[in-house]
Amino acid sequence: MQSERRFEPPIGEGGTEGLADRRRLPLVSLTLRLAAASAAIAALSLLAHGSLRRASAPQPEPPAEVAATPFVPSTPAAPAKPALAPLPGRLALADPDGLDPVRIEPARINPATGLREEVVARGAFDAIESPALRLTLTRDAGTAAPPSLFVTLARRAADGPALAVIRTGARGRVATKFGTVETLEATLAGAARRICTGFVTLEAAPARIDGWLCAPLGQPPEPRALACALDGLTLDGAEEPAAGVFRAAEGRRDPACGNARPSAAAEAAGRTGSIRGRRQVSGSRG
């Protein structure tokens, strides 16, 4: 019997290499298909993960519509505060010359301190040819130290008269029927500009009196002029601690604060800082 003989391809140029290449082709094709399948699986996994995150994340609200006109609240305005009822007692300021009427303004509550205040004024600030006095009485100020005189003066000037303190000068102290009064020379400006003396009582607790006095013709007031101006302030018919301060002060009035008019020689000497009709007495400069 003749034995079977396998057919062997002839080994020639490129025979062995061609056989190896043909054997590698299925393996390469399988590797490529596996890589493609892995890439597809990874892509599908990423897409599914992103979809889950978007589904769980809070969705932003749509932008609000911009109003054509600004919003205006419809809350009605607060009603005006009623005027404070007058306290017992009559507050008065003497006017020996009778030339400048005394004005007592309605009582008010200071928004910074919550204390009730009463304002008394005489003369017009714009009338530089005559004295001008404006003072504030706080009946229940207590015994605490008041703010600095400069701060008090600046607040008083801006409130009501709409004035500004543009310059300050010497400080001093003056003896009055209410005890020692601290003074500060200050230039106040509004429609006019005047050199005035700001003041605040230091020994009248629980009452406190502060304000300013302006002399005529651009001159600074003399200390005695301020003492005599406060000498004419009275509070009658009241029964309270502040009224007791005024009653005690009446026993310390200065007899030099009279009604006689000064001589022409005194006026010519430039004593325009004094209240007319009061004898000049030397004192510390305010």
pLDDT recorded at residue 217 = 87
Q: Give the CA count within 13 Å in the CB-facing half-sphere of 125.
A: 23
Q: What confidence score (pLDDT) does residue 180 get?
A: 96
What pLDDT sits at residue 225?
94
Q: For 106-131, give the secondary structure using H, E and C.
A: CCEECCCCCCEEEEEEECCCCCCCCC
**pLDDT of 253:** 93
What predicted TM-score, i.e. pTM, was given to this entire model? 0.62
pLDDT of residue 161: 86
Predicted confidence pLDDT, tens digits, the chain (286 residues): 455 555 555 555 555 555 555 555 566 666 777 777 777 776 666 666 565 555 555 555 544 444 344 333 344 444 445 557 767 778 899 876 666 789 999 889 988 888 999 999 999 999 999 999 999 999 999 888 888 999 999 999 998 789 999 999 999 999 999 999 999 999 999 999 999 999 999 999 999 999 999 999 888 999 999 999 999 999 988 888 999 999 999 999 998 886 433 333 333 334 444 443 333 333 333 3
Task: Give the helix/strand (H/E) hosting 90.
Answer: strand 90-93
DSSP tally for the chain: helices H, then strands E: 5, 10
Residues written for the chain: 286
Helix (H, G, I), strand (E, B) or coil at 197: strand
pLDDT for the residue numbered 138: 95
* pLDDT (0 to 100) of residue 22: 56
Closest CA to 179 of 86, 88, 246, 273: 246
pLDDT at 38: 72
pLDDT of residue 272: 40
Provide the pLDDT for residue 280.
33
